[in-house]
Structure 1
Amino acid sequence: MRMETLLEVYKQSKYQVPGHGKRDFHVLKRVMEGMDGQQESDLYGKGKVIEDFQVKMSEYLGKESAVFFPSGTMAQQIALRIWCDQKGLKRVAYHPLCHLEIHEEDGLKELHHIEVILLADKSRVIELDDVIGLNKDIACLLLELPQREIGGQLPSYETLEAISAYCRDKGIRLHLDGARLFEILPYYKKSAAEICELFDSVYISFYKGIGGIAGAILAGEKDFTETSRVWKRRHGGDLISLYPYIISADYYFDMRVNKMEQYYEEAKELAAFYNQCDRVSTMPIVPVSNMFHVHFEAAKEKMETILTAISKETGIGLTGYVREVTKETSNYEVSVGDLYSQVPKGALKNVFQLLNEKMKEN
């Protein structure tokens, strides 16, 4: 008889700990129920629905202008291309685990022929000394806040200010990969506009902490965004209509952007539960946003068995997957959203008591 997988059991669980819920058709249906069916859609990047949202986002980010893109991959490659063209130098720098480096099939290099310098050790964030120590000129430096692949770590705000000042002094453009910008505002105790002021261009996502369907904003000065519109057309990003993405982004932005403090505090509480368990730790130990990584001193297959058993016994799902780090260690990522507050605290504590017992036994 076939054993149920961890993912199957997780999906069937009464309570799921991370995220906002299933990514099903209800994500869009919920938005559409309150819409005026007579409202006109956008058309090839123009129209009230897209233009109003772009203005709303530019004001929120404190930037002169903003453009809606169907994907962050497209937006960020275009941003770096613009800065390289402006300086006449096709070379940029970013973290070794940057999204452009490990998740985009070398799109920046193959499509735009841009050379990349990898800054800092992959286990930590980029610091000022890394930037000062560059031995080649670059057109643009990309900083990802938070650095997702290492558990969502962040540099200090003073470091950000120092890097920004150094880049402006040296004529280096500074681009923000702010896919999770909203989620870091509680930690820095800054507004989005205050953080974005340090950067020449900014990308934000609407399907991560916000929980929309898809879509991104690229923001900066008007000359920059007007050039990005040209590149957006070249990349095939001007679909005849993007309104399902836009209206869902707007709807869930309004619903969740002011809940990031709640998610952040809940993430710290959840991480503390994990860190009380034998051979379990989080990265960072104390989260700096609503996301963190959970690390186990146990093999992937062993953790799948343990987590499946816990979910079946309690009806609470901690995760639907586990990744292999080494033959003896494993991990997974957690992002706290709307679902966490729905889990009864007593039942949640029981889950971690079980996890601790099983980790001691195995």
Structure 2
Amino acid sequence: MKRKDFLKLGGLIAATASQPDVFATSKPQNPTGEVDFMHDGLALSPKEYAGLLMKLADEGKIKADYYSNGGVVEEMEAVFAKLFGKESAVFMPTGTLANHMAIRRLAGQNRRVIVQEQSHLYNDTGDCSQTLSNLNLIPLGLNAVEFTLEELDYVVKKTQGGRVETHVGVISIESPVRRQKDQLFRYESVKKIADYAKNNNIKMHLDGARVFVQPIHNNISVVQYCAPFDTVYTSLWKCFNAASGAVLAGPKSFTENLFHERRMFGGGLPTAWAFAAVALHFVNSFAEDYKQSWQKAETLFSLLQKDERFKITKFENGSHIVGLEVKKANAERFKEALAKKNIQVSAPTANGFLLKVNPSLLRESAPNLASRFSESLKESEM
């Protein structure tokens, strides 16, 4: 893409041309930048996002696509396919569509689909799979991260033994599980379920919106974790800072001509380079950036817990979310005090705060962050 073509997007882009070069790597270079404990990624502002696109365009790294095919979109698809250990990948504008397209195609005529009761696919998509594709989602594992092999076997056999014999076509697993504080579906459990699925001719799909944070916490590579699944999706905006987008990977026989169904469901965007280029910029360095971020977070947590008024809670099979309890302080005032010191945290709950670790921690040292937490605690004491 030529720079003059990019400038047609408007004055905002032109206004950012003189920004400092803060995007040479995925690591934020400004030491006074905001540290965000709320998002999976860097939560780039519109100005930062536009500035990065300008930089990538100037460097000749944005090749235009046509209806989400070719160009930098194709480059991005190839990179993610390799990172997943799959043959091929296809861009999707949203994770909702990626999950839907995966289970729709995998199911074929066996239209019953096993999902976690806590999954995004079951709770947050407006029954799109049921309404638009006549799929029958069967939720297992009430209020839990995982469902058991026994639960699965019971449903499969009951389905096959009905007066009208039917079959489960797909098992969809989400990991990390957003509604369960991003806890992980254990790899040992995945392998058992995958063996069962193979023996019963059932396909497997992974909703891996945040799967790239897992290796630091379970010592299982993304390729190894994804291997038992026929297809896998990940978000482009959660960890890789794109304004939107997703990528769905699997065998070539699966992805071939999938763009037709994508367009049939209104997902064939005329241009998708603005999403793909940013995700491609961040993807190769994310693993190391996140590793360093988690190491810094561990140091921060250790420093905070030297003060008995701070309590850090790590969750069983957890990933990048921890609990923070603040004693003898007003939680709302504590949040406001942190915000004045360029630290953003989510709204407090009855048990305190949930802190989400991401590469924005690379903007500041752990001791300086700990000092800001301590100062904010003092300012919010009851």
Q: Confirm or deny a common fold (TM above 0.5).
A: yes
Unaligned runs of 5+ in 1: 1-12
Aligned counterparts of 1:63 and 1:351: Cα–Cα separation in 2: 44
Partner-residue secondary structure (3-state), 2:233: strand
**1:293 deviation in Å?**
4.7
Q: How many residues align?
A: 336
**1:245 deviation in Å?**
0.8
The Cα offsets for residues 314-361 of structure 1, whole Å up to 9 and x where unpaired, read as: x14241x3165xxxx1555433223213334333323444576689x6
Distance 1:211 1:273, change over 3 A: farther
Aligned counterparts of 1:340 and 1:37: Cα–Cα separation in 2: 30
Aligned counterparts of 2:324 and 2:115: Cα–Cα separation in 1: 25
Residue 35 of structure 2 corresponds to residue 16 of structure 1:
yes
Give the counterpart letter for 1:50 in structure 2. V
Query: What is the aligned partner in structure 1 of residue 47 from structure 2?
Result: 25
Partner-residue secondary structure (3-state), 1:257: helix
Distance 1:42 1:209, change over 3 A: same
Maintained 8 Å contact 1:17/1:343: no
Partner-residue secondary structure (3-state), 2:241: coil
Aligned counterparts of 1:243 and 1:338: Cα–Cα separation in 2: 23
Query: What is the aligned partner in structure 2 of residue 5 from structure 1?
Result: none
Query: What is the aligned partner in structure 2 of residue 8 from structure 1?
Result: none
| Seq. identity, % | 24
1:334 corresponds to which of 320, 330, 355:
355
Aligned counterparts of 1:245 and 1:81: Cα–Cα separation in 2: 25
Residue 350 of structure 2 corresponds to residue 322 of structure 1:
no
1:259 corresponds to which of 289, 294, 302:
289
Aligned counterparts of 1:111 and 1:139: Cα–Cα separation in 2: 17
Maintained 8 Å contact 2:62/2:277: no
2:229 corresponds to which of 183, 199, 202:
199
Residue 108 of structure 2 corresponds to residue 82 of structure 1:
no
Aligned counterparts of 2:146 and 2:352: Cα–Cα separation in 1: 20
Query: What is the aligned partner in structure 2 of residue 284 from structure 1?
Result: 315
Aligned counterparts of 2:326 and 2:55: Cα–Cα separation in 1: 47
2:179 corresponds to which of 125, 149, 153:
149
Aligned counterparts of 2:297 and 2:204: Cα–Cα separation in 1: 29
Query: What is the aligned partner in structure 2 of residue 68 from structure 1?
Result: 91
Q: Over aligned residue pairs, what C-alpha RMSD do you find?
A: 3.1
Distance 1:343 1:172, change over 3 A: same
**1:216 deviation in Å?**
1.1
Aligned counterparts of 2:352 and 2:136: Cα–Cα separation in 1: 32
Residue 139 of structure 2 corresponds to residue 114 of structure 1:
no
Partner-residue secondary structure (3-state), 1:175: strand
Give the counterpart letter for 1:69 in structure 2. M
Unaligned runs of 5+ in 2: 1-31, 160-166
**1:16 deviation in Å?**
2.4
Maintained 8 Å contact 1:65/1:221: yes
1:47 corresponds to which of 62, 70, 75:
70
Give the counterpart letter for 2:56 in structure 1. G
Query: What is the aligned partner in structure 2 of residue 305 from structure 1?
Result: 333
1:242 corresponds to which of 272, 275, 278:
272
Maintained 8 Å contact 1:151/1:292: yes
Partner-residue secondary structure (3-state), 1:89: coil
